[in-house]
Amino acid sequence: MINRLRARPIYLTMVVTSLAFATTSSALAKDSGLQVMEQSRTPIPVLNDADRAAVYNAPGGHEMQDDALNSFFLIDRLEWQNADAGSAFNWEAKGWVGGDIDRLWLRTEGERLNGLTEKSEVQALWGHAISPWWDVLGGVRQDFKPGDAQTWAAFGVQGLALYNFEAEATAFIGEQGQTAARLEGEYDFLLTNKLILQPMAELNFHGKNDPQRGVGSGLSESEIGMRLRYEIRREFAPYVGLTWNRSYGKTADYTLAEGGDRSEARLVLGVRFWF
């Protein structure tokens, strides 16, 4: 009992001390909170012209260069064909020199049959990019065969359609007022990383009959092909394939009159390379 009475004053002293500490801590917290609030109420300085200049002025020495001169050339088809009239040698190539926006495009294609040149043309076109995937083109086309040499003005577009389908559409106006148009398309199916199947199609149209060159008005010729290539390296690939050519209307009549066939299927062997 005496021990309990002696312990009670000690207990009361501890309680009083705790209350005093709590009161002091609360007061300090309130003072600190007021100081923080007062500090947070300090206004943010308004941006001036010097601040804006420091942020938006580009530093020197890191400017992009869009006038670099580059080039690319693709020999898309360099092939032997087993034609009904004998052995044929065909070629088709294109390339460009220029920058990202403006380029000089060169195209050529032709055919030699039994050692004689049956078709041969060269195009020089100026291309301007109108989107990341499409170019507009304008320039000249020079035909060396068939018939006499002929010059055309050329206008068109080329690029990647849906699903990376490569497309070209070109219109031509000849020296004597002839008109023509050509549509081309091809697509690469990746069977493996190196084995690629490429279907293609081409349509040719002419505005009027031209007996000297063996073409009639309207849809004159079509070609459908399928080539399977193996890329030994990305830059070089041998291939094998089949093509089916057909002439229409007056063009078919001219072909038959010269002893040819309206349609013909050919086996092709060739190489494709670029640099």
| pLDDT tens track for 210-241 | 999 999 999 999 999 999 999 999 999 999 99
User: Burial code of 244-255, b = ≥16 C-beta within 10 A, e = fewer?
Assistant: ebbbbebbbbbb
CB atoms within 10 A of CB 101: 12
**pLDDT score, position 68:** 84
- The C-alpha atoms of residue 272 and residue 230 are separated, in whole angstroms, by 10
**pLDDT score, position 224:** 99
**pLDDT score, position 27:** 47
- The C-alpha atoms of residue 196 and residue 236 are separated, in whole angstroms, by 12
Handedness of CA 84, 85, 86, 89 (dihedral sign): negative
**pLDDT score, position 7:** 42
Residues of the chain with pLDDT under 50: 1-13, 15-17, 19-22, 24-40, 62-64
Short-list 95, 239, 234, CA closest to 158: 95
**pLDDT score, position 46:** 66
**pLDDT score, position 103:** 98
Provide the phi-psi class of 83: left if phi over 0, else alpha when psi is between -120 and 50, else beta: beta
**pLDDT score, position 65:** 52
Answer whether 218's CB lies under 8 Å from 203's CB. no
**pLDDT score, position 193:** 96
CB atoms within 10 A of CB 42: 7
How far is Cα of residue 272 from the mean position of the Cα atoms in its chain?
Answer: 19
Work out the burial of residue 29: count CB atoms within 10 Å of its CB; fewer than 13 is exposed, 13-18 middle, 19 or more buried.
Answer: exposed
pTM of the model: 0.75
Handedness of CA 258, 152, 217, 77 (dihedral sign): positive
